[in-house]
Amino acid sequence: MKKQIISFFTLILLAFCLYAQQTTANAGLYVSEDRIRTGEEGFAAEEFRRGVQAFYKGAYNDSIVQFEKALAYMPDDNLILEWLGKAYYKAGMEGTALSYWQTALDNGYGGLLLENKIEVVKERRVTGDSVDKLMRLSESGSFEGTVNGNMIFSGPVSVLPNYDGSFWVTAYTSNEILRISQNGKVLDRVTGPLIGFDRPMDIIRLLDGKLLVSESAGDRLALLNENGKFIKYIGSKGRGVGNLVGPQYIAQDSFGRIYVTDFGNRRVDVFDAEGNGLFYFGGKSGGFKGLKAPTGIAVVGDSVFVADENSGCIYEFDRSGNFIRELVEQKTFKKPESLKLWQGELIVCDKNKIVSVDISTGSVFEYASTGNAPSRVTTAVPDINNNVIVADMTADEIYIMSKVQELVGGLFVQIEQVDASKFPEVYVELKVENRHRQPVAGLELENFYFTENKRAVSNLQFMGSAANNTYADITLIIDRSTIMKGYSAEVETAVKEIAASMNGRGTLRIICAGGMPVTEYTGSSDGVSNFTIGSLKTAYASEVPVDLAIRLAANDLINAAKKRAIIMISDGTVSSASFEKYTLSELTAYLANNAIDFSLIQVSQKAPDAEYDYIINNSSGESYYVFRPEGLGSIVNDIIALPQGTYQLRYVSALQTNFGEKYLPVEAEVYLMNRSGRDESGYFAPLE
């Protein structure tokens, strides 16, 4: 009996030892503090610590080396595998990152969080930016004009999104414009000059950043500064040039001309950028019977599209007002309102429906319907987060609509940096995107929830959003291939115009892509105001490794301002040596995963080679011609206006550091309306 009892306790002890051994193997570097670490664990922990520190400094290649060393000591450690995958991901080698993550997942590590990360990254690699345009919209949130008997706004007509995620709304009935956050909070309320607004209808942002509001009952336009402060009126009541009767919707072309649908005069009035009346159009001419009740208007390139409530049609004119064609058949729409450009198509509000119209073929697709309840949607406009904000005047409500795929997919959250140099104060920088790399801007403190070991942190504070930054760091890459010898004047023009438009803010770098890429200049943009092609030291070369130049430029921008971009100055031609070292997918992943945009300034008017198109389309960039009519001055503003989903928060940690040797976990959750996302990471406090 005694032997049986001893045998029983022996089995229990063996089972416990096996469990402890398995737990330790799964936990890896998370060994119990009351257990002495083996030599391999100690060496691995030190290399791992260095790898984490290098990662947070943006030295991803160094961090990969350190994690590889740590993995050599502990080949089955899942925490090291996860971090090694993170380092490869940030370095642009997504395939390698996925393999390490998958190994950790197969070992039973990471759970649904790691599984979701793998799924998202795989989906991005397969689909890129090829998100289906023609996908129905679904409501992801709404803001009512009256809450608990208190009126917030009344009669919303038009919406104007801002680059920080907030948006302006014209309230027709309450005679005001409001700036509202993504969470529905009223940030600003503007009632106009002393006499106030008189039935504000539409609101647009002009090329210079000022706001323009149409006052339907006031028969005028109100010019405001970017914060809504009144500057002056444009137009007055009447039937002549520069006069208005019941102005509705507004648009502006690339040359600054302002187009206004004049409901009372049954025409479109045109003003110059200073607000002086130029001419009007829309009357009977040839086979065109004339506008009867013009409402929405949009300018796309050299075409002006005008909706007419009476005919239920959209007409196309040139910028001089000459009638071109009917874009859709008459009576296609019952009560068309505003026209906005989205994804290369017109988005049209028609009573209780939101539809898109292909500007080439006139084909119509229904995005969403508000149903049979009393409704009159007047404006549907895309915001910086690729949602569509809809104003419903009759329901007195504003809807936030998203593509169904985005609602199902949720948010993709990544903890980018952790600064614990002032421990227990911890600063965390994280990036929030949807599943298709599109940043989510406009979040506030209430959208974040931080924990340590699943316990809420104390004193969480919102420190700022990169979307609010008003400057950018820019690196110019000058193509020094022999084909560029004849474009010296074009290169000088591009460099000077970009430098001038930076207004002395941010850091400008110039890299020459010759036989080997060389950094020629780093400093203030003012330092190249007198740039000449002769000041470059890099010689022309017959074969130019463009990939190495892009990689060098990106390396310098990793720790630069959060708004940052590479601008390539080239004729758009590539050779067999252009992308020999790095593949296009690796380059674009490196840029996209580190929020670096890539644009091309072409010195010739030919179409760029497909390789440049690929990088541009996968990094939120654009292609510009050096001598385009409007100049290059707006490129920097285009970069600054790009959406940014990077945020910094601060909290006070309650964890013990073990003299700075202990790995301290942190978890971040993000909520926006009915979407959410989560990430987990960790850091080390300073050594004591």
> Which residue type is seen at 320?
S
Least confident of 30-44, 223-237, 457-471, 668-682: 30-44
Between the CA of residue 8 and those of 5, 15, 280, 388, what are the distances in Å? 5, 11, 99, 68
State yes or no: pLDDT of 674 exceeds 90: no
State yes or no: pLDDT of 13 exceeds 90: no
State yes or no: pLDDT of 225 exceeds 50: yes
Least confident of 222-226, 508-512, 605-609: 605-609
pLDDT of residue 389: 95
| Angle at which helices 111-127 and 94-106 cross, to 10° | 150
pLDDT of residue 24: 34
Q: What is the mean pLDDT of residues 639-653?
A: 93
pLDDT tens-digit series, residues 587-627: 999 999 999 999 999 999 888 999 999 999 888 889 999 99
Burial of 555 per CB tally in 10 Å (0-12, 13-18, 19+): middle
SS3 per-residue string spanning 130-180: CCCCCCCEEEEEEEECEECCEECCCCEEEEEECCCCCEEEEECCCCEEEEE
| Residue in 138, 216, 125 with CA at minimum distance from that of residue 170 | 216
State yes or no: pLDDT of 203 exceeds 70: yes
Angle 657-115-643 from CA coordinates, rounded to 5°: 80
pLDDT above 70: percentage of residues in the chain: 93
SS3 per-residue string spanning 440-502: CCCCCHHHEEEEECCEECEEEEEEEEHHHCCCCEEEEEEECEHHHHHHHHHHHHHHHHHHHHC
Beta carbons of 670 and 536 less than 8 angstroms apart: no
Token output for 549: 């130049």
Mean pLDDT, rounded, of the chain: 90
| Residue in 291, 305, 308, 293 with CA at minimum distance from that of residue 341 | 305
Burial of 455 per CB tally in 10 Å (0-12, 13-18, 19+): exposed
State yes or no: pLDDT of 586 exceeds 60: yes
Strand order in the sheet with 388-392: 137-144, 397-403, 388-392, 377-382
pLDDT of residue 29: 59
Q: What is the mean pLDDT of residues 656-670?
A: 94
pLDDT of residue 582: 92
| Residue in 161, 150, 83 with CA at minimum distance from that of residue 117 | 83
Q: What is the mean pLDDT of residues 522-533?
A: 93
> Which residue type is seen at 486?
G
pLDDT category of residue 422 using cuts at 50, 70 and 90: very high
State yes or no: pLDDT of 529 exceeds 60: yes
pLDDT of residue 134: 61
State yes or no: pLDDT of 10 exceeds 50: no
pLDDT category of residue 413 using cuts at 50, 70 and 90: very high
Least confident of 340-344, 628-632, 635-639: 628-632
Q: What is the mean pLDDT of residues 561-568?
A: 95
Angle 545-548-549 from CA coordinates, rounded to 5°: 90
pLDDT of residue 140: 84
pLDDT tens-digit series, residues 169-185: 999 999 999 999 989 99
Q: pTM for the whole thing?
A: 0.83
